[in-house]
């Protein structure tokens, strides 16, 4: 499998492949993770490669599907803004229907502060980043870690609810 040198370009802020070690549990489940950077038996590598050829992804992406979905959406929003932003003006205010405005308000988005597509997409990414910080907590107090994980899920859920309101604006 060809190594992708740019795999972290749009993942910065969430689990970044360059910061993972071969024994890190978070190394698995990242979309399009470079299998060559993980030490594993040849049979396991072949199994995952076969799944990628057959399905376009492997079963490690389903071990923590919520995290996989967050990393996927985060990285794709970042790339859309970077590449698509050269074609589409995501900074133009006042392009929303009343339905979008009401949907964003319902999800707790301050549309006077986040008044453009880019700002809302960036806000979604910020929610994912905050959730990732909470999920990275390594406190010895299990109760604190569990509370942090619950809060992270709330942030991730909010990000996806906001995404569901604004997603049809995501294109170029």
pLDDT one-digit tens code per residue, 60-72? 778 878 888 888 8
How high is the mean pLDDT of the chain?
83
pLDDT of 52 > 70? The answer is yes
pLDDT at 7: 52
pLDDT of 158 > 90? The answer is yes
28 band by pLDDT with thresholds 50, 70 and 90? low
d(CA 121, CA 116): 9
> CB-side exposure of 31: number of CA atoms within 13 Å?
17
Residue 12, phi then psi, degrees to nearest 5: -55, 130
pLDDT at 133: 86
Task: Check if the beta carbon of residue 162 is closer than 8 Å to that of residue 120.
Answer: yes
Helix, strand or coil, per DSSP, at residue 20: coil
pLDDT at 111: 96
**pTM of this structure:** 0.79
| pLDDT greater at residue 82 or residue 4 | 82
| pLDDT greater at residue 76 or residue 172 | 76
pLDDT at 1: 39
| pLDDT greater at residue 3 or residue 13 | 13
pLDDT at 24: 55
């Amino acid at each position: 499998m060809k190594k992708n040198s740019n795999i972290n370009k749009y993942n910065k802020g969430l689990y970044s492949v360059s910061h993972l070690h071969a024994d890190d549990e978070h190394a698995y489940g990242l979309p399009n993770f470079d299998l060559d950077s993980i030490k594993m038996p040849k049979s396991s590598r072949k199994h995952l490669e076969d799944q990628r050829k057959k399905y376009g992804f492997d079963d490690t992406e389903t071990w923590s599907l919520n995290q996989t979905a967050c990393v996927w959406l985060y990285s794709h929003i970042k790339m859309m803004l970077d590449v698509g932003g050269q074609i589409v003006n995501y900074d133009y205010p006042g392009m929303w229907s009343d339905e979008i405005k009401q949907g964003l308000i319902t999800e707790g988005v301050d549309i006077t502060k986040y008044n453009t597509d880019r700002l809302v997409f960036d806000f979604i990414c910020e929610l994912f980043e905050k959730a990732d910080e909470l999920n990275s907590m390594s406190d010895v107090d299990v109760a604190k870690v569990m509370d942090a994980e619950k809060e992270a899920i709330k942030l991730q859920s909010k990000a996806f609810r906001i995404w569901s309101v604004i997603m049809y604006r995501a294109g170029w």
